[in-house]
Amino acid sequence: MSKDYRPMWASLGLDLDAHDALLAFLGPYYAETFLSQDNRPEGMKYFDFVMSEVHGLRIEELLAAKDEGRKVIATFCTYVPEELVLAVDGVMVGLCAGASFAPELAEAVVPRTLCPLIKGFFGFALGRVCPYLAASDLVVGENTCDGKKKAWEIYGDMSDRMVTLDLPQTRSIAGRALLRSEYVTFARRLEEATGKRLTVEALVRATAVVNRKRDALARLARLRAADPAPISGLDGLLINQIAFYDDPVRFTTQVDALCDELEARVAAGEGVAARGAPRVLVSGCPMAVPNWKVPAIVERAGAVIVGEESCVGERGMRNTVDASADTLDGLVDALVDRYLGIDCAIFTPNGSRLDHIRGMHDAYRADGVLHYGLQFCQPYLMEAGPVEHALEKTGIPTLMVETDYGTEDVGQLQTRIEAFLERLRD
């Protein structure tokens, strides 16, 4: 980091010793995982800088925004509309949940056999090492899986900043009505928190900002279809992870600049892996920073990941919002239409997700699908078997992986993934 941020972290109430230990791990881990890659695009230097300052300069920016009277809204989920937050001059950021931290503190309030992402959030929160949580004015929890529903109840007893969004489990008329009602209630809560009124003009402007960000990420995704791939799957994942933290306008500009470079690479036939290297589509649970274990194993074994069917990936970022309506009701309807199309495993039935995986497999010329599941994540683990069966039945090789944030299973994962890649090479 370029300066000493410890006074800022202390002002946020972080445990400085624990936070120092976290950063002492993350810095070398990031360098080993990302900076050691060969032939990275020059445009990745911006994203490396963002990660080097993810607990520093970005937090300083959030605090400066708060000094200007803006509110920081922290969340996990792609179902929380950034459009509404930006329309009332708020700032939306992601939360820390991609690693196991202070599990003994987390397990004092939640079960040991719980999804690592949820338990990770409690570890970061109770261990006081997440500056995004500390800097936030509201924490938005979405009622997707049962684990999260109960997690927000528990955390709500610890914090008066907690806001929950109830989500439908079906794409029915009643389900759509529920989501619309929740978004209207959330908009009112944002108005109360910010003192700003939601207007048609503000929501149209905010929607344009978010649509441009999604368009830039869609452009990046399309470029990954080239063979040889112009960018690694690790870097593609990293960019999608940073989308949850960075300023959306600045982020979009940098993604577009990177895409300009990647287009030149594609035209020149330049890539990060040999032409014909096994091409893998990763599907399943989201991978939050710094959850890079499985992608690193895949690409170190000589394959390239060409897409992520994930909330931290195409599932969460695809499709834009139609902002042509001239009333708030019409714009909210358009928001609901877009967000209801996210094919999370909480939905039943969820055939559109399988269609999405097949479509991505074909569009990005993947050779096979790695279905990634976090231990105890019931929705995605329950879908894993049917997804594997359906894909294999149509000739798409599929490997199911179930893991956590630890390193104990790295050897086993390497063996299974390398065997899968050999199958793809045959």
What are 148-183's pLDDT values in tens digits? 999 999 999 999 999 999 999 999 999 999 999 999
**266 near 226, Cβ under 8 Å?**
yes
Decide if 1 is inside a domain.
Answer: no
Kindly calculate the radius of gyration of the chain based on its CA atoms and give it in whole angstroms: 21
Assess whether 185 and 240 both reside in one domain.
no
Number of domains making up the chain: 2
126 and 265 part of one domain: no
**11 shares its domain with 155:** yes
pLDDT tens string 389-398: 999 999 999 9
Per-residue pLDDT, 426:
85
At 367 the pLDDT is 98
List the strands of the sheet with 138-143, edge to edge.
Answer: 91-94, 72-75, 138-143, 162-166
Same domain (yes/no): 157, 219 = no
Is 302 a domain residue? yes
Q: CATH number of the domain that 113 lies in?
A: 3.40.50.11890
Residue with token string 């599907």: 283
Answer yes or no: is 81 within a domain. yes
Q: Same structural domain for residues 143 and 178? A: yes
- Please tell me whether residues 127 and 238 are part of one structural domain: no
- In this structure, the strands spanning 72-75 and 138-143 are parallel
Q: In Å, what is the CA distance from 403 to each residue of 141, 277, 306, 313?
A: 24, 25, 21, 19
For residue 290, whether the previous peptide bond is cis, meaning omega lies within 30 degrees of 0, is yes
For the domain that residue 281 is a member of, what is the CATH number? 3.40.50.11900
Same domain, 315 and 364: yes
Please list, in sequence order, all residues whose beta carbon lies within 8 angstroms of the beta carbon of residue 189, skipping any fewer than 6 positions away: 138, 163
Boundary (domain end) residue, out of 157, 176, 199: 199
- Which pLDDT score, from 0 to 100, does residue 1 have? 66
Which of residues 178, 199, 220 is at a domain's end? 199
Residues 162 and 230 in one domain: no
pTM reported for the whole predicted model: 0.97
pLDDT tens track, the chain, 426 positions: 679 999 999 999 999 999 999 999 999 999 999 999 999 999 999 999 999 999 999 999 999 999 999 999 999 899 999 999 999 999 999 999 999 999 999 999 999 999 999 999 999 999 999 999 999 999 999 999 999 999 999 999 999 999 999 999 999 999 999 999 999 999 999 999 999 999 999 999 999 999 999 999 999 999 999 999 999 999 999 999 999 999 999 999 999 999 999 999 999 999 998 889 999 999 999 999 999 999 999 999 999 999 999 999 999 999 999 999 999 999 999 999 999 999 999 999 999 999 999 999 999 999 999 999 999 999 999 999 999 999 999 999 999 999 999 999 999 999 999 999 999 998
Q: Can you give the residue range of the structural domain that contains 102? A: 6-199
Q: Does residue 361 share a domain with residue 231?
A: yes
Does 354 map to a domain?
yes
Q: Are residues 238 and 135 in the same domain?
A: no
